[in-house]
Amino acid sequence: DEFAATWDEKHPGISQSWRNNWSRLSVFFDYPPEIRKVIYTTNAIESLNASLRKVTKTRRSFPNDEAVLKLLYLALHQIAKKWTMPLRDWKPAMNQFIIMYGDRVSL
């Protein structure tokens, strides 16, 4: 309600969307802050999407779906070579993953 009071005038759809999807969104808050900090950022995802768009935007059409999949597969291999930076704040998040899911986490 506080969020809606502050932002609904400028962005009315956000609080409505939150209310409609709260059962799915609230799961995010079940994780400790260290894990939430790592999973809520979209910078890596946006970077990947931009790289894939860059590869596909110059082609107007593809002969079939398999051609698109091959192009994206090869592009992902090239894009992955640039991924040299570790995730920010990964160590505290990994410690929390080990505490929560130790039997499923391998180092």
Give the model confidence (pLDDT) of 8-58 as tens digits: 999 988 899 989 999 988 888 899 999 888 887 767 788 889 999 998 888
CA dist 72 and 79 (Å) reads 10
**pLDDT tens string 80-95:** 888 887 777 888 989 9
68, 10 Cβ separation under 8 angstroms: no
Per-domain residue ranges of the chain: 1-30, 32-107
* Contact status, residue 8 vs residue 15, Cβ threshold 8 Å: yes
Question: For the segment 45-83, what is each residue's pLDDT rounded down to a tens digit?
Answer: 888 899 999 988 888 788 999 999 999 999 999 998 888
Q: What is the pLDDT of residue 52?
A: 92
Return the structure tokens found at 6: 């502050």
Q: How far apart are the C-alpha atoms of 43 and 41, rounded to whole Å?
A: 6
**Maximum distance among all alpha carbons in the chain?**
52
Residue located via tokens 């082609």: 59
Summary mean pLDDT of the chain:
88
Q: What integer pLDDT is reported at residue 25 of this predicted model?
A: 84
Residue type, 59: R
Determine the pLDDT at residue 3: 87
